[in-house]
Chains A and B, each alone.
Chain A
Amino acid sequence: DGGITQSPKYLFRKEGQNVTLSCEQNLNHDAMYWYRQDPGQGLRLIYYSQIVNDFQKGDIAEGYSVSREKKESFPLTVTSAQKNPTAFYLCASSPTTYNSPLHFGNGTRLTVT
Chain B
Amino acid sequence: QQQVKQSPQSLIVQKGGISIINCAYENTAFDYFPWYQQFPGKGPALLIAIRPDVSEKKEGRFTISFNKSAKQFSLHIMDSQPGDSATYFCAALLENQFYFGTGTSLTVIP
Cross-interface CB contact of B43 among A44, A45, A58, A107, cutoff 8 Å: A107
Whether A21 is near chain B, meaning CB under 8 Å from some CB there, is no
CB-based A-B contact count at 8 angstroms: 57
Q: Verify if B96 is at the interface (C-beta below 8 Å from A).
A: yes
- Report the contact-size class of chain A (Cβ under 8 Å from the partner): 20 to 34
- B102 lies within 8 A of A40 (CB): yes
- Given A42-B101, A106-B42, A107-B42: A99 touches B96 (CB 8 Å cut-off): no
Q: Does B55 reach chain A (CB closer than 8 Å)?
A: no
Q: Given A90-B43, A90-B44, are A99 and B31 neighbors across the interface (CB < 8 Å)?
A: yes
Within the assembled complex, what's the spacing in Å between the Cα atoms of A3 and B100? 22
Stretch at the interface among B13-21, B45-53, B61-69, B72-80: B45-53
Interfacial residues, chain B to chain A (CB-CB below 8 A): 6, 9, 31-32, 34, 36, 41-46, 49, 51, 89, 91, 93, 96-98, 100-103
Known: A43-B100, A99-B31, A106-B42. 19 other contacts (CB 8 A): A4-B43, A42-B89, A42-B100, A42-B101, A42-B103, A45-B98, A48-B96, A58-B97, A90-B44, A92-B43, A94-B96, A101-B32, A101-B34, A101-B49, A102-B34, A102-B44, A102-B98, A104-B44, A106-B43
Closest A-B pairs by Cβ, 10 of them = A104-B43, A42-B102, A99-B32, A43-B100, A42-B100, A101-B46, A106-B43, A101-B34, A104-B44, A105-B43
